[in-house]
Amino acid sequence: MNRDIDQITNKKDTFTLGGHEFNSRFILGSGKYSLDLIKAAVEEAGAQIITLALRRANQGGMANILDYIPKGVTLLPNTSGARTAKEAVRIAHLAREVGCGDFVKVEVIRDTKYLLPDNQETIKATEILAKEGFVVMPYMYPDLNVARDLVNAGAACIMPLGSPIGTNKGICTKEFIQILIDEIDLPIIIDAGIGRPSQACEAMEMGATAIMANTAIATAGDIPTMASAFKMAIESGRKAYLAGLGRVMDKGASASSPLTGFLQPTDN
């Protein structure tokens, strides 16, 4: 909890990933956009990090996504398309070769229906890439034991999923993500499933370090406005978290006759 107190006093309220400091707690996905709207989304979101599927970063030709990402934004290449740790490592190497830097979001998926991450392979890939000096951000199904293994493997943060990717269902895995927030000392960035600003806000209130969203914004009626709405929700949730949420009354929490009433004022 000490880090939170530090952050309340830190007016900038930044967080670090692999030695890099970030102000914005909103990471933008880029996979489902009309390319010419990416710039506006990044600007309105105030995002400093944008993910990029290497398989979409085609070299040359028409519609190269790299041409649409504003300068100064940190590129977070992901390993989507990888079905095993070995493939994830290979894709990360390719990303480095084409000049995407040292950040990598590890995604290992061998299920085309739900696109759920394979935690075991993710741990393996994280370990290999962290040793090679990558800033590894693993996408995972929220499991405490796996999160601990990822910490030990050298991950820079943990990216648990809120609900299956693209479903916009919000934080279905709330209880388990809360455990990660409470127990893991690395930044917890909630990825996948966040469909509306209120859900992003909820994630931040829980104490998440940041959130990542793609589908929710890419498929919105007005993309820049939705990006801005998310930004505000994230900032609001963050503030609420830092302020300390008010007293929440659970059912029966306030009994009419006190349970401690039997105690004598002075102990004879």
Binding site for another protein (CB under 8 A): 31-35, 53-56, 58, 61-63, 81-83, 87, 90-91, 94, 110-113, 115, 166-168, 214-215, 218-219
Indicate the SS3 state at residue 38.
Answer: helix
- Give the integer Cα–Cα distance in Å for 156 and 76: 13
Q: CA nearest 46: which of 184, 257, 224? A: 224
Q: CA nearest 137: which of 110, 103, 109? A: 103
Least CB distance to another protein at residue 113 (A): 6
- Give the integer Cα–Cα distance in Å for 36 and 96: 25
229 a known binding residue? no
214 a known binding residue? yes
Least CB distance to another protein at residue 57 (A): 9
Catalytic residue among 105, 124, 131, 169: 105
23 a known binding residue? no
Helices H / strands E in the chain, number of each: 9, 10
Q: Is 251 an active-site residue?
A: no
122 a known binding residue? no
Beta pairing class for 20-22 and 15-17: antiparallel
Q: Which lies closer to another protein via its Cβ, residue 129 or residue 147?
A: 129
Least CB distance to another protein at residue 37 (A): 9
DSSP 46-72: T-SEEEEEGGG--SSSS--GGGGSPTT
The distance in angstroms from the start CA to the end CA of the chain is: 39
Q: Which lies closer to another protein via its Cβ, residue 82 or residue 208?
A: 82
Least CB distance to another protein at residue 29 (A): 9
Q: Which lies closer to another protein via its Cβ, residue 125 or residue 204?
A: 125
Q: Which lies closer to another protein via its Cβ, residue 63 or residue 144?
A: 63
Binding-site residues, in ranges, read 166, 192-193, 214-215
The residues annotated with a catalytic role in the active site are 105
Binding-site residues for 1-deoxy-D-xylulose 5-phosphate, in ranges, read 166, 192-193, 214-215
